[in-house]
């Protein structure tokens, strides 16, 4: 068993603690502890350390007072979530117990953790990369089954493996380029540069294809669907019918909706953000005019627009890929190219639901590669691809080498791995330099 750490052995790295379970009425609350004083603190509270990674029932005492009877776990580093010495206290979840244990931890030298600090330490210790850390946050916030599955896959490293594979291939390309620059008199094969440029083209193409895939961002953030059209055409009625409750006020008076109303709705396991907007018309009312301006901004940013038209309405479709929906078809039938609905019964909106379901299936079609999930990933990959493109058109080898280095650095920032030593190992391992 590892020797317990005394208070005098503590380093400058603070020992932190936090609840790993939510607040509220419950049977059990889990308090996590991580840092160099974890063993000392756990031994002070429980009398002695249990065997590593085995739960033990102990009475927790501080200043001569019993705080609780709890299950404790001793998790010595580096085999812990953070890579540091860690512990867990499985307490009874009464607020008074949690508060008294927290006060005892502070008095023994620990401090409350900052948001994300446990996972940040895991990244710094190499237990997780940045992509996996982001997946942990996504898993905690997951609202749908699709979000859960995507976050679990990313936490398991599928996206990291893809990006690290690209980094390794780019490292090989850069090693070849450095050899061409530094050893021009060596008898390197003539096809080295041709192969180098071919691999750059292949990597750039794979990154471009990956950037076209929106599945990950849609799964994580949802699909924004804006309902737009003239006043009193049935926009609010459609919003209520789709989400299944009265989210928007419906009256016969035109212009009831002055500002956008947003409702989250689940369809085929994907979150759709439905936005009901102000009716589009000419108006002298300042408040209504501002609502119309906001409606058009939502239309411009939407993933899909439902352009509602009513009897006698022949307005041009608001956006090129907008779905034109004819409402009140009990009065006027839908025209060719339109979806006809009426909102008085579930059957009346079934055709539109089917169309939206097809949109989701088309956007979420399965591909072999895992999808990127955040704007940070997209920005990093776009930067790496742009550097690759500049490398292929660079007029001098030195500029090409610099562009390749910048591309590799952009990829490395995605996972948090930017390793110069690995590049040197590749250079000296692949070519017989210094023979």
Answer yes or no: is 224 a known binding residue: no
Answer yes or no: is 366 a known binding residue: no
Answer yes or no: is 221 a known binding residue: no
Answer yes or no: is 328 a known binding residue: no
Helix (H, G, I), strand (E, B), or coil: what is residue 287? helix
Vertex 407: Cα angle to 402 and 410 (nearest 5): 125
Answer yes or no: is 208 a known binding residue: no
Q: Are 220 and 373 in contact (CB under 8 A)?
A: yes
Answer yes or no: is 44 a known binding residue: no
Answer yes or no: is 279 a known binding residue: yes
Q: CA–CA separation, 275 vs 261, rounded Å? A: 5
Answer yes or no: is 278 a known binding residue: yes
Q: Retrieve residue 216's tokens.
A: 């990950």
Contacts of 121 (CB under 8 A, 6+ apart): 34, 82, 83, 84
Selection from 1, 67, 74 nearest residue 33 by Cα: 74
Answer yes or no: is 251 a known binding residue: yes
Answer yes or no: is 256 a known binding residue: yes
Answer yes or no: is 13 a known binding residue: no
Answer yes or no: is 232 a known binding residue: yes
Selection from 281, 293, 287, 300 nearest residue 258 by Cα: 287
Answer yes or no: is 240 a known binding residue: no
Contacts of 136 (CB under 8 A, 6+ apart): 119, 128, 151, 155
Answer yes or no: is 127 a known binding residue: yes
Helix (H, G, I), strand (E, B), or coil: what is residue 274? strand
Starting at the edge strand found earlier in the chain, the sheet holding 86-92 runs 56-62, 65-75, 86-92, 28-34, 15-19, 110-112
Answer yes or no: is 301 a known binding residue: no
DSSP state of 34: E
Q: Are 39 and 4 in contact (CB under 8 A)?
A: yes
Answer yes or no: is 100 a known binding residue: no
Contacts of 352 (CB under 8 A, 6+ apart): 238, 242, 306, 323, 325, 339, 341
Selection from 229, 309, 315, 298 nearest residue 261 by Cα: 298
Q: CA–CA separation, 233 vs 306, rounded Å? A: 12
Answer yes or no: is 237 a known binding residue: yes
The binding site consists of 32, 88, 127, 232-237, 251-257, 276-279, 435
Binding site for (6S)-5-formyl-5,6,7,8-tetrahydrofolate, residues? Answer: 32, 88, 127, 435
Residues in the annotated binding site for Mg(2+): 236, 257
Per the annotation, binding residues for GTP are 232-237, 251-257, 276-279
């Amino acid at each position: 068993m590892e020797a317990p750490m005394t208070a005098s052995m503590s380093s400058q790295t603070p020992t932190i603690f936090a609840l790993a379970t939510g607040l509220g009425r419950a049977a059990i609350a889990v308090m996590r502890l991580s840092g160099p004083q974890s063993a000392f603190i756990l031994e002070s509270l429980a009398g002695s350390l249990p065997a590593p990674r085995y739960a033990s029932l102990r009475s927790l005492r501080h200043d001569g007072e019993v705080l609780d009877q709890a299950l404790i776990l001793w998790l010595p580093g580096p085999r812990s979530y953070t890579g540091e010495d860690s512990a867990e206290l499985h307490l009874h979840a009464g607020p008074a117990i949690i508060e008294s244990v927290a006060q005892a931890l502070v008095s023994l030298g620990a401090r409350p953790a900052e948001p994300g600090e446990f996972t940040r330490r895991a990244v710094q210790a190499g237990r997780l990369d940045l992509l996996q850390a982001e997946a942990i946050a996504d898993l905690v916030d997951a609202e749908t089954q699709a979000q859960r599955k995507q976050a679990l896959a990313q936490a398991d490293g599928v996206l990291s493996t893809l990006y690290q594979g690209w980094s390794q291939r780019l490292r090989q390309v850069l090693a070849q380029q450095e050899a061409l620059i530094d050893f021009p008199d060596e008898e390197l094969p003539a096809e080295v540069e041709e192969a180098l440029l071919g691999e750059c083209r292949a990597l750039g193409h794979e990154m471009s294809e990956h950037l076209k895939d929106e599945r990950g961002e849609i799964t994580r953030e949802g699909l924004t669907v804006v309902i737009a059209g003239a006043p009193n055409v049935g926009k609010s009625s459609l919003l209520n019918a789709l989400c299944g409750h009265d989210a928007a006020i419906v009256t016969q008076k035109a212009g009831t909706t002055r500002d956008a109303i947003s409702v989250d709705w689940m369809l085929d396991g994907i979150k759709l953000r439905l936005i009901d907007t102000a009716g589009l018309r000419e108006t002298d009312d300042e408040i209504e005019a501002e609502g119309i301006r906001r409606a058009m901004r939502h239309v411009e940013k939407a993933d899909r627009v439902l352009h509602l038209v009513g009897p006698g309405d022949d307005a041009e479709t608001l956006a090129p890929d907008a779905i034109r929906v004819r409402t009140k078809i009990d009065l006027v039938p839908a025209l060719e190219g339109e979806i006809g609905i009426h909102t008085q019964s579930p059957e009346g909106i079934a055709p539109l639901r089917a169309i939206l379901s097809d949109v989701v299936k088309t956007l979420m079609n399965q591909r072999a590669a895992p999808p990127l999930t955040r704007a940070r990933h997209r920005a990093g990959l776009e930067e790496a691809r742009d550097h690759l493109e500049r490398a292929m058109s660079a007029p001098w080898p030195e500029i090409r080498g610099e562009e390749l280095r910048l591309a590799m650095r952009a990829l490395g920032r995605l996972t948090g791995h930017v390793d110069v030593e690995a590049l040197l190992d590749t250079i000296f391992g692949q070519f017989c330099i210094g023979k």
